[in-house]
């Protein structure tokens, strides 16, 4: 399912709001755009492990 630009911005804002939780660097956010669907789902279900896993995969 495609993600609109507006949804992408909203997703990034959600990630920024959770950054203390995810413990990510701002530069990583741009890399994670491709994984917004996975990260968005993780945030929606409140799964810290899923967010960390998505970040780990994204960062490498």
pLDDT tens digit string along 3-36?
555 656 666 676 666 555 455 555 555 555 556 6
C-alpha distances (whole Å) from 20 to each of 6, 35, 43 are: 23, 19, 13
| pLDDT score, position 35 | 62
Query: How much is the pLDDT for 53?
Result: 72
35/38 Cα distance (integer angstroms): 5
Number of domains within the chain: 1
| Residue ranges making up the domain that contains 40 | 5-59
| Residue 46 DSSP label | T
């Amino acid at each position: 399912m495609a993600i609109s630009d507006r949804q992408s911005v909203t997703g990034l804002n959600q990630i920024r709001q959770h950054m203390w939780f995810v413990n990510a660097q701002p530069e990583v956010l741009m890399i994670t755009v491709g994984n917004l669907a996975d990260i968005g789902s993780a945030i929606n279900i409140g799964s810290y492990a899923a967010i960390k896993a998505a970040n780990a995969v994204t960062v490498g």
